[in-house]
Structure 1
């Protein structure tokens, strides 16, 4: 592994096998009646592309690389500023799905869309400009970190969005700073979902926090227990009890979004390679935790062939800010600026994470009288402490030199982990890297799916009436602007 004492960033031309798209339609296409991802498919003033070549060529692309001791990132400004590649140098693996060919299909809001990497969806999903070029620049910071900024002034509502991709010296995580600006004198709506893809097989499982006992469909129209589904979801009978955190068990195209969680992470894990991807963000700002799959069946395999030549199936682990469901928009007021931070990182050996911060993550399991503790850190933390307390007594107290290449794992004899048992991981100065506490294993009730909005005369308070109207206006603002109110009122009844 090449030793990078500092973070480096550079521009480079690379050859990527590419299926070209046609020229955009010359005249605007008004799609007022089209539904897309639960909201209007109107795209004006964006042009629409309706054809993709069946022939592959070797095409030269301008990319930006960002690299430190642990990670190598490739940014593709020509296609929406997406992260095209994210490589873990410790495990020598792509921790984000790397599609080695650019093979679009006509599933995007304006036509072409590609799988793989990390796509940033705003102000609507999928991003209207996902196949358009954006501005990009490299910024060297005083602390030795380097940031690649991508930005655009989007066409539909004239808001501006920026994403800053930062690597820090000796840190095995990618920091993403989002900056959104409303440059207009009018309130606008937006959503932001970072959309990382991950490669999957029969050994893959999604990793949601342990307080997530249920997941919702789009618009919360349907709900399922999680991880063990016990009813019907997406018309599939899971009544026998099926673990839908496992990719192999989901045969049809399926979305699910977590109920409210008090944890800051979501991710996925490859049980065969003992490695995974984790997303970290303040759950008060970024409550959205979602998985989408084409399904592990004939339909999904057909879409694998549509979107890649040889890189196989993937799922999306989407991470939303200011919302926990799709479609659901947030307001940005005139001249307002929104700022938020997200972290993406590879990890290894931990399995299904119990808790995580940007510095470290932990798993604690108890089986057959043996307690296994695994801790992974994203940086170098020498002389740290791993302390497990049960029934008010320390049952584990070890010093350890953490690094992304050096994972703590220890098994001890322990009969039980009673409620209140606690694990602390402290650096040498006593600062907390991550903590975990055993909670009650009592199952929470599964929330109900969304119901139709009441008629105004049936709403008892002015506050509820106002909030209901505000939500409708926010959710269907595209419909309001594109004069599709009758269509959306019917859809609203279905919610």
Structure 2
């Protein structure tokens, strides 16, 4: 069967990601479950951990408006298929490889989630489990994991189809291009990744391919290593012997943990997941993608809860991963104008040698021989031939930022070296129209509706451009947000005030409120947030911010009044109910707090590593164990 590439949809029980949060996240990044200690680590790893840390997700907006109510909804897929494999990519969800079917056995090689349920594990909040995810830029699940990518069909010289996906990652200013094709003569999916820093300045670089695999009691993971850097959800990062005790069986992990294998850099990097019958999946790459990792949820109430929270009846899973640096705490310096490339190959595996069941030292060489034999029988040269070919038949449109950033660079006389195999649409979507109009000086911002801006920009170059534009409430406001995200609080406050002098908007009021709070004037901040909410009463995140600041100021009675004033459908939201519980406890009304908690409500965007629900339960019911549905502890 000659390979084909086509578009289709599949209906899944789904909770919509929903609209983005209109409030720019100018504060700190979402808290990670833990931070790594650099004590006793090799100098290279310690230096990479210290380098390139990101303190804010701005200019992205958060995706936190989802619920846990699911109904059938279509997921758009690009499908590569031949006689050996069927590979399905979710074009509107970060290009995720959501299915890889081995036709010879009928097995799904990656964890194929039977539902779509966002949860708060991503850098922009919304993340979902399953398949193989491409993570670029900074530690965590990348900002576009629940957003569309550009996609096109490329025809190789031999007539075979190649799926190309690409985007511009705004935080690091990187262009990523992924080309995928199926091998003609062997069951293999080849992916060629190309990342370019189009700017003249250095930036931090990060990449991890995260591959979810269905977990059974007998699942076992192999990699060519004897030791690993193991981290658990307590911040420690220890160097451990992975054979003693044997950590290769994810179902036996006592708690959630990562094992970053210490690989020999002279050997081909690979990782494989096998079932007791010897079948499984191998992932092999070229040397640049040199790191490998195993993640397991572990056998704790919280770990099991998270696995069920993300996949429901699909069942348990673990992840095998591949990255550029030894651990996921590291960022690497990428020079201006640099291009980094590598190949990744996914192959079904069958290891019949009974030594696979043996101890680590005897099993790994047997699995390695099978992995290398399977991968060496494949041919990825087709991807080299098409790497620079311009997109042909477009399959999907992404965001305008690659084009807007190129235009900005041209306006200020800076280079922007794009990749030859990609093109960006300046007018794509609401964001493109919004910024194109602003750049072109179209429309009267002071007469337009006070709708929330479609998106935001970041950095000195955008500030320079906006400073030269017509001075409106909107240009002052955007410059204020740029300054705020950069930590320049006095300048941000001055620009917010300039915006408010021209036009009173809830967005500038909120920004000035957060600047005043950061400067230590909580009372002024609360007054400003109250004013902002009066102008945008339907913006739930504003109410939550006001409630949180009132609580911090010891004004819990006002929080209870605020919650009582909200519409019924807003009071029913998980974060609002949590705010109500906190306010009740702060006023000493433990009975009211307990009654709310006993209603067993859900907080759909509870953060990975966040233990607030169990903490509230213990405060309300100090003599009762935390119910499983509130227990998200992973250690």
TM-score, scaled relative to structure 2: 0.52
| Displacement of 1:75 | 0.6
Q: What aligned pairs does 1:261-300 form with structure 2 within 5 A after superposition?
A: 261=264, 262-283=266-287, 285-300=288-303
| Displacement of 1:227 | 2.4
Inter-CA distance 222–353: structure 2 relative to 1 (3 Å threshold): closer
1:56 aligned partner: 70
Larger Rg: 2
In 2, Cα distance between equivalents of 1:222 and 1:132: 35
In 1, Cα distance between equivalents of 2:130 and 2:376: 24
In 1, Cα distance between equivalents of 2:199 and 2:122: 26
Inter-CA distance 76–148: structure 2 relative to 1 (3 Å threshold): same
CA contact (8 A) 1:250 1:295 kept: yes
CA contact (8 A) 1:15 1:60 kept: yes
Query: Number of paired residues?
Result: 352
| Displacement of 1:54 | 2.2
Q: What aligned pairs does 1:69-80 form with structure 2 within 5 A after superposition?
A: 69-80=83-94
In 2, Cα distance between equivalents of 1:263 and 1:202: 30
2:445 aligned partner: none
Structure 2 counterpart of 1:225, from 238, 241, 262? 241
2:248 aligned partner: 245
2:218 aligned partner: 203
Inter-CA distance 280–177: structure 2 relative to 1 (3 Å threshold): same
Question: Aligned to 2:92, what secondary structure does the other structure show?
Answer: helix
CA contact (8 A) 1:13 1:61 kept: yes
Question: Aligned to 2:306, what secondary structure does the other structure show?
Answer: helix
Inter-CA distance 265–163: structure 2 relative to 1 (3 Å threshold): same
Inter-CA distance 333–10: structure 2 relative to 1 (3 Å threshold): same
| Displacement of 1:244 | 1.1
CA contact (8 A) 2:350 2:370 kept: no
1:165 aligned partner: 180
In 2, Cα distance between equivalents of 1:314 and 1:205: 12
CA contact (8 A) 2:208 2:321 kept: yes
Please tell me whether residue 190 in structure 1 is matched to residue 201 in structure 2. no
Segments of structure 2 that go 5 or more residues without pairing to the other structure are 36-52, 357-362, 380-484, 489-635
Structure 2 counterpart of 1:341, from 328, 340, 343? 343
CA contact (8 A) 1:144 1:169 kept: no
Please tell me whether residue 94 in structure 1 is matched to residue 108 in structure 2. yes
1:122-161 residue CA offsets vs partner (Å, 9 max, x unmatched)? 0122111111111011112123442111110112232211
Segments of structure 1 that go 5 or more residues without pairing to the other structure are 229-241, 364-374, 382-480, 485-495
In 2, Cα distance between equivalents of 1:51 and 1:159: 27
In 1, Cα distance between equivalents of 2:84 and 2:376: 9
Question: Aligned to 2:370, what secondary structure does the other structure show?
Answer: strand
| Displacement of 1:40 | 3.8
Runs of 4+ that moved beyond 6 A: none
1:361 aligned partner: 370
Question: Aligned to 1:305, what secondary structure does the other structure show?
Answer: helix
1:301-335 residue CA offsets vs partner (Å, 9 max, x unmatched)? 101221012111111111012x1112111222222
RMSD: 2.6
1:312 aligned partner: 315
In 1, Cα distance between equivalents of 2:155 and 2:285: 24
Q: Please state which structure has a larger fraction of its residues in helix.
A: 2
1:50-80 residue CA offsets vs partner (Å, 9 max, x unmatched)? 2322211111222100011111000111001
CA contact (8 A) 2:13 2:72 kept: yes
Inter-CA distance 329–377: structure 2 relative to 1 (3 Å threshold): closer
In 2, Cα distance between equivalents of 1:130 and 1:271: 29
In 2, Cα distance between equivalents of 1:40 and 1:280: 30
In 1, Cα distance between equivalents of 2:228 and 2:19: 44
CA contact (8 A) 1:151 1:161 kept: yes
Q: What aligned pairs does 1:421-436 form with structure 2 within 5 A after superposition?
A: none
In 2, Cα distance between equivalents of 1:160 and 1:356: 35
In 1, Cα distance between equivalents of 2:141 and 2:486: 18
In 2, Cα distance between equivalents of 1:51 and 1:139: 36
Please tell me whether residue 43 in structure 1 is matched to residue 45 in structure 2. no
| Displacement of 1:338 | 1.3
CA contact (8 A) 1:19 1:102 kept: yes
In 2, Cα distance between equivalents of 1:156 and 1:377: 35
1:135 aligned partner: 150
TM-score, scaled relative to structure 1: 0.66
| Displacement of 1:353 | 4.9
